[in-house]
Amino acid sequence: MRFAMAAAVSGLAMMAGWAAAGETPSQADAKAQALLEQMTQDEKMSLLHGPMLALVQRSKRPDGVVIGAGYVAGVPRLGIPALTETDASLGVSNLNNQRPGDVATALPSGLAVASSWDPEVAYRGGAMIGAEAHAKGFNVMLAGGVNLVRDPRGGRNFEYLGEDPLLAGRLVGRAIAGVQSNHIVATIKHFAMNDQETGRNVLSVTMAETPMRESDLLAFQIGIETGDPGSVMCGYNRVNGVYACENPFLLNDVLRRDWGFKGWVMSDWGAVHSTEALVHGLDQQSGDQLDLKKYFSASLEEEIAQGRVPQAAVDTAVRRIVRTLFARGVIDNPAVPGGSIDYDAHAAVAQATAEAGMVLLRNERDVLPLAATAKRIAVIGGHADIGVLSGGGSSQVTPVGGFALVVKRPGTGASSFASRSYGPSSPLAALRAGRPDASVEFNDGHDPAAAAALARDADVAIVFVEKWATEAEDAKDLALEDGQDALIAAVAAANPRTVVVLETGNAVSMPWRDQVQGILAAWFPGQRGGEAIARVLTGAVNPSGRLPITFPASEKQLPNPMLPGGDAQPADKETRAVYGIQAGLKPFDISYPEGSDVGYRWFAKTGARPLYAFGYGLSYTRFHYDGLKVAGGDTLRVRFTVTNTGGREGADVPQVYVSRNGRAKRLIGWDKPTLKPGESREVTVTADPRVIGDFDAKAQRWVVPAGDYRVEVGASAEDVALAGMTHLGRQTIKP
Ligand code: BGC
């Protein structure tokens, strides 16, 4: 009963979202239908496809249009604007400098946002990006990547929101709502199971419906309910043998029939393989020069003429696109290039996001925050004198101020996929500014002996290490590269008060962990990453990030110790498939043996101890949990009290996990209270039944079986501070 109420409430929230952004659903439908009836066939067809403008000859580009990843001509006669599309998850990207010199505020990576465990941090980042996009003339943002992190070698994990469907779904939903608060469309992507880069254009994920519904699909479902995106982008890969962009199970059955999605489905760039895709649920071919054929223009006309594709399929797709433009307010609030942008205010959003997402992993002997008595500080490596690293690929933002350093891969051009780019926010400069009383010396780390010598004479040594990640390519393993492990070992041997700052797009291995006193995961920290790192190190900010992914102790603990397809398709530059340009890749099938038990669930199931557990992160203060009360019956509701027992104000992320006989624990909720020393707060978490239940594929229902459920409250997936049991009655919920 209560579950039905929860669903009704979320339905109302969606309605509220519509009303805030544009027309109500029925007004949008009516207006779209009226326009459809006035459109010629050519006008309809023009909405179903578009090129990547950067690849179109300058003389053939439409006048005055901002260049982004995608462009779809509108119908000016009827007031339907062209769709101007840009990548966007981490800021308004400028792929390969296609808008020469155009900069934008660079948010930290998705993993940093996810580490905040704070949906409002995600919202504020989305709202900021959406405002910049609108001011630059974009009305569709390819923002909202929510593929689950299944493998810590995944090249795009940095763009996504972690390994848990509830956490990732809620955060992406709020990020989307933020983007769309600017009268533009956000695009949740890459639907679905596009969880690795190796072979992404050709691989097929073999997985039964139940585990898919309980993992990746649930993340999308929650994201769509929470954020109501106007568009869904289907992925490159195949799912159970069928390309995601022509997969009727995904697009027609799950997305539209079961979830009631009313927006439009656009393809990823180079992900279309047939004209029949239109009948199977795809509405729009994006970047259409990248596919083998212009399936949704020239080929479509032929297929309609031959009667192989019904005209009704064209009308349906057009209606979906136009109604979404009304519903999201795109038509009434046109995005015109040249709007004003408050870059200072936006930099503050980027910095606040980075600060909320820093995860303190180790703090022996309270090496952090840096003691006032630490007057000689050695800063080593990681280009900390210059800036902070960002991830590569279509999400690459050219930050305000321009890149501080771009390191091209030998033999490649200046492609965003092949250059390590550093934003102009130097942690060294920020530390010097934060500690004017100290002498802060830098060594670039190239010579471990010289770095160790600097560390030996210092009160504390801070080693910056980095591991770049990029779209279209997975890492071969978890190790830091270029001798950075040896550098840390040498510095730690010279000075036990060593702190490591990680700038990575993933979990990494740490053979030196026990030799250092501090470890801070800063991810790719964005526009003001250097300042954010410095403020955490000096204690101006009390770290409150928690891991949204598990850090495994080694690849051997993973469900796939070798990356699926890693043998058939080495993830090197010769075989990289970028934008569907496939360098002779052969199709192959992969499976993910963990199924719905992604990440910490797999570790719980196998009993393996990770290096750092999902949900883990330290603070400069301490928290205590007590007073657990668990209510069962038809709703699982958990209450407990969090108290700050340390000496500083700080935010904590108490987490609630539920398990039952034969099934690994699952996160059902969390909170993020900020507490003064001695302050307590009661936290209430109510389970979403889909997280505690199973998806019954035969009955096409979520089922919460009657039985006893174990509830655990803790500071990570491994920590059990409080535990209790309760009994739940059987529930079934629509898919
Ligand atoms: C990526 C998408 C992106 C698109 C347009 C593709 O390579 O997979 O995430 O939106 O390019 O740039």
| Residue 49, C-beta contacts closer than 8 angstroms, at least 6 positions apart | 72, 284, 285, 286, 288, 294, 295, 296, 297
**What is the Cα–Cα distance from 200 to 268, expressed in whole angstroms?**
11
pLDDT in tens, 162-180: 999 999 999 999 999 999 9
Q: What is the mean pLDDT of residues 629-648?
A: 97
Closest atom of ligand 1 relative to the 70 alpha carbon: 5
pLDDT in tens, 521-559: 999 999 999 999 999 999 999 999 999 999 999 999 999
Q: What is the mean pLDDT of residues 419-446?
A: 97
**What separation in Å is there between the alpha carbon of 545 and the centre of ligand 1?**
28
Which mutation among 92, 140, 142, 232 tests ligand 1's pocket best, with the greatest number of atoms within 8 A of CB?
Answer: 142
Of residues 717, 544, 729, the one with CA closest to residue 631: 729
pTM given for the model:
0.96
Q: What is the pLDDT of residue 17?
A: 44
What does the DSSP 8-state code read for residue 82? P
Counts of helices then strands in the chain (DSSP H, E): 18, 31
pLDDT beyond 60 at 41: yes
Which mutation among 83, 129, 290, 471 tests ligand 1's pocket best, with the greatest number of atoms within 8 A of CB?
Answer: 471
Q: What is the mean pLDDT of residues 124-150?
A: 98
CA-nearest residue for atom 4, ligand 1, is: 269
pLDDT beyond 80 at 574: no
| Residue 629, C-beta contacts closer than 8 angstroms, at least 6 positions apart | 638, 639, 640, 724
Q: Amino acid identity of 335?
A: A
pLDDT beyond 90 at 9: no
Q: What is the pLDDT of residue 584?
A: 58
**What separation in Å is there between the alpha carbon of 472 and the centre of ligand 1?**
10
pLDDT in tens, 308-331: 999 999 999 999 999 999 999 999
The three-point CA angle 392-398-404 to 5° equals 90
Q: What is the pLDDT of residue 63?
A: 92
Here the tokens at position 561 are 């110790």
pLDDT beyond 70 at 299: yes
| Residue 564, C-beta contacts closer than 8 angstroms, at least 6 positions apart | 151, 196, 198, 203, 590, 591, 592
Closest atom of ligand 1 relative to the 579 alpha carbon: 7
**What separation in Å is there between the alpha carbon of 268 and the centre of ligand 1?**
6
Q: What is the mean pLDDT of residues 504-527?
A: 98
Q: How confident is the model at residue 628 (pLDDT cuts 50, 70, 90)?
A: very high
Q: Which domains does the chain have, with CATH numbers?
A: 343-538 (3.40.50.1700), 621-733 (2.60.40.10)
**What separation in Å is there between the alpha carbon of 349 and the centre of ligand 1?**
25
**What is the Cα–Cα distance from 379 to 428, expressed in whole angstroms?**
7
Q: What is the pLDDT of residue 571?
A: 42
Q: What is the pLDDT of residue 14?
A: 42
CA-nearest residue for atom 6, ligand 1, is: 269
By mean pLDDT, which of 12-16, 19-23, 299-303, 455-459 is the weakest? 12-16
pLDDT beyond 90 at 367: yes
Q: What is the pLDDT of residue 569?
A: 52
CA-nearest residue for atom 7, ligand 1, is: 579
Produce one character per residue of 223-243: b if its CB has 16 or more CB atoms within 10 Å, e if not.
bbbbbbbbbbbbbbbbbbeeb
Q: What is the pLDDT of residue 5?
A: 34
**What separation in Å is there between the alpha carbon of 189 and the centre of ligand 1?**
9
Of residues 179, 183, 146, 141, the one with CA closest to residue 161: 146
Q: How confident is the model at residue 611 (pLDDT cuts 50, 70, 90)?
A: very high
**What separation in Å is there between the alpha carbon of 166 and the centre of ligand 1?**
24
Which mutation among 87, 191, 417 tests ligand 1's pocket best, with the greatest number of atoms within 8 A of CB?
Answer: 87
Q: How confident is the model at residue 16 (pLDDT cuts 50, 70, 90)?
A: very low
**What separation in Å is there between the alpha carbon of 295 and the centre of ligand 1?**
19
- What 408-415 contacts at long range (C-beta under 8 Å, 24+ apart), as own/partner pairs, is 409/573, 412/573, 414/96, 414/97, 415/96
CA-nearest residue for atom 2, ligand 1, is: 268
Q: What is the pLDDT of residue 472?
A: 86
List, in sequence order, every residue forming a beta bridge with 80; answer none if it has no partner.
Answer: 75
Q: Is the dihedral of CA 57, 60, 62, 64 positive or negative?
A: positive
pLDDT beyond 70 at 61: yes
pLDDT beyond 80 at 568: no
Q: Amino acid identity of 391?
A: G
Closest atom of ligand 1 relative to the 578 alpha carbon: 7
Q: Amino acid identity of 629?
A: K
**What is the Cα–Cα distance from 589 to 50, expressed in whole angstroms?**
31
Q: How confident is the model at residue 96 (pLDDT cuts 50, 70, 90)?
A: confident
Closest atom of ligand 1 relative to the 194 alpha carbon: 8
Please name the residue that has the structure tokens 């070698």.
153
Q: What is the pLDDT of residue 579?
A: 43
**What separation in Å is there between the alpha carbon of 227 and the centre of ligand 1?**
20
Query: What distances in angstroms separate CA 48 from CA 248, 303, 546, one per listed residue?
Result: 18, 14, 42
pLDDT beyond 80 at 583: no
pLDDT in tens, 208-233: 999 999 999 999 999 999 999 999 99
Q: How confident is the model at residue 112 (pLDDT cuts 50, 70, 90)?
A: very high
**What is the Cα–Cα distance from 480 to 509, expressed in whole angstroms?**
7
pLDDT beyond 80 at 4: no
- CA 384 to chain CA centroid, nearest Å: 25
Please name the residue that has the structure tokens 């949740």.
188
Here the tokens at position 669 are 């909720």
pLDDT beyond 70 at 576: no
Phi/psi at 589 (nearest 5 deg)?
A: -105, 145
Phi/psi at 687 (nearest 5 deg)?
A: -75, 140
Q: What is the pLDDT of residue 413?
A: 67
CA-nearest residue for atom 11, ligand 1, is: 269
Q: What is the pLDDT of residue 425?
A: 97
Q: What is the pLDDT of residue 581?
A: 45
Is 470 exposed, middle or buried (CB count within 10 Å of its CB: 0-12, 13-18, 19+)?
Answer: buried
**What separation in Å is there between the alpha carbon of 116 and the centre of ligand 1?**
25
Q: Amino acid identity of 325?
A: L
- Answer for the pair 284, 321: CB distance below 8 angstroms, yes or no: yes
* Size (the chain), residues: 735
**What separation in Å is there between the alpha carbon of 233 and the centre of ligand 1?**
9
With a pLDDT cut of 90, the percent of the chain lying above it is: 88
**What is the Cα–Cα distance from 39 to 75, expressed in whole angstroms?**
9
Residues with a CB atom less than 6 Å from ligand 1: 69, 87, 142, 189-190, 268-269, 394, 579
Q: What is the pLDDT of residue 412?
A: 67
pLDDT beyond 50 at 12: no
Query: What distances in angstroms separate CA 623 from CA 111, 606, 617, 654, one per listed residue?
Result: 24, 29, 12, 9
With a pLDDT cut of 70, the percent of the chain lying above it is: 94
CA-nearest residue for atom 5, ligand 1, is: 69
**What separation in Å is there between the alpha carbon of 601 and the centre of ligand 1?**
30
Rg of the chain, C-alpha, whole Å: 25
